[in-house]
Structure 1
Amino acid sequence: MSDNELTGADARAWLLAFADRVVADADELTELDRQAGDGDFGWNIGSALKRARANLDGDDPAAVFQSGSDTFLASGGTSGPLFGLWFGRLGAGPSASWSVPDLAGAFETATGAVRRLGKAEVGHKTMVDAMVPATHALATTGSSHWREALREAAVAARAGAESTSGMVAHRGRASYLGERAREVLDPGAVSIAWFFEAADGI
Structure 2
Amino acid sequence: MSASNGTELTGARARAWLLAFADRVVADADELTELDRQAGDGDFGWNISSALKRARTGLEESGAQDPAEVFQAVSDAFLASGGTSGPLFGLWFGRLGAGPSAPWSVADLGRAFETATGAVRRLGKAEVGHKTMVDAMAPAAEALTSAETHSWREAVRGAARAARAGADSTSGMIAHRGRASYLGERVQEVLDPGAVSVAWFFEAAEGA
Residue 88 of structure 1 corresponds to 94
- Please list the CA deviations of residues 96-117 of structure 1 after superposition, one character each: whole Å capped at 9, or x if unmatched: 0000000000000100000000
Question: How many angstroms does 1:145 deviate by?
Answer: 0.2
Is 2:171 the counterpart of 1:165?
yes
Distance (Å, rounded) in 2 between the aligned partners of 1:145 and 1:165: 32
TM-score by length of 2: 0.96
Residue 15 of structure 1 corresponds to 18
Residue 46 of structure 2 corresponds to 43
Is 2:133 the counterpart of 1:130?
no
TM-score by length of 1: 0.99
Name the SS for the 1:141 alignment partner.
Answer: coil
Of 150, 169, 179, which aligns to 2:156?
150
Question: How many angstroms does 1:168 deviate by?
Answer: 0.3
Question: How many angstroms does 1:78 deviate by?
Answer: 0.5
Q: What 5-or-longer segments of structure 1 have no aligned partner?
A: none
Distance (Å, rounded) in 2 between the aligned partners of 1:68 and 1:201: 19
Is 2:111 the counterpart of 1:105?
yes
Of 40, 47, 69, which aligns to 1:63?
69
Question: How many angstroms does 1:197 deviate by?
Answer: 0.1
Residue 80 of structure 2 corresponds to 74
Distance (Å, rounded) in 2 between the aligned partners of 1:49 and 1:71: 7
Distance (Å, rounded) in 1 between the aligned partners of 2:114 and 2:82: 25
Distance (Å, rounded) in 2 between the aligned partners of 1:67 and 1:157: 23
Distance (Å, rounded) in 2 between the aligned partners of 1:176 and 1:191: 22
Question: How many angstroms does 1:201 deviate by?
Answer: 2.1
Distance (Å, rounded) in 1 between the aligned partners of 2:191 and 2:40: 11
Name the SS for the 1:54 alignment partner.
Answer: helix
Question: How many angstroms does 1:141 deviate by?
Answer: 1.0
Distance (Å, rounded) in 2 between the aligned partners of 1:149 and 1:192: 16
Distance (Å, rounded) in 2 between the aligned partners of 1:200 and 1:176: 37
One-letter code of the match for 2:49? G
Q: What 5-or-longer segments of structure 2 have no aligned partner?
A: none
Name the SS for the 2:207 alignment partner.
Answer: coil
Superposition pairs of residues 167-182 of structure 1, within 5 angstroms: 167-182=173-188
Residue 117 of structure 1 corresponds to 123
Contact (CA 8 Å) 2:70, 2:97: kept in 1 or not?
Answer: yes
Residue 29 of structure 1 corresponds to 32
Aligned length: 202
Contact (CA 8 Å) 2:17, 2:207: kept in 1 or not?
Answer: no
Distance (Å, rounded) in 2 between the aligned partners of 1:200 and 1:103: 16
Q: Where in structure 1 do 4 or more consecutive aligned residues deviate above 3 Å?
A: none
Contact (CA 8 Å) 2:126, 2:132: kept in 1 or not?
Answer: yes
- Please list the CA deviations of residues 88-138 of structure 1 after superposition, one character each: whole Å capped at 9, or x if unmatched: 000000000000000000000100000000000000000000000000000
Identity across matched positions, percent: 81
Contact (CA 8 Å) 2:12, 2:65: kept in 1 or not?
Answer: yes
Distance (Å, rounded) in 1 between the aligned partners of 2:94 and 2:119: 10
Question: How many angstroms does 1:142 deviate by?
Answer: 1.0
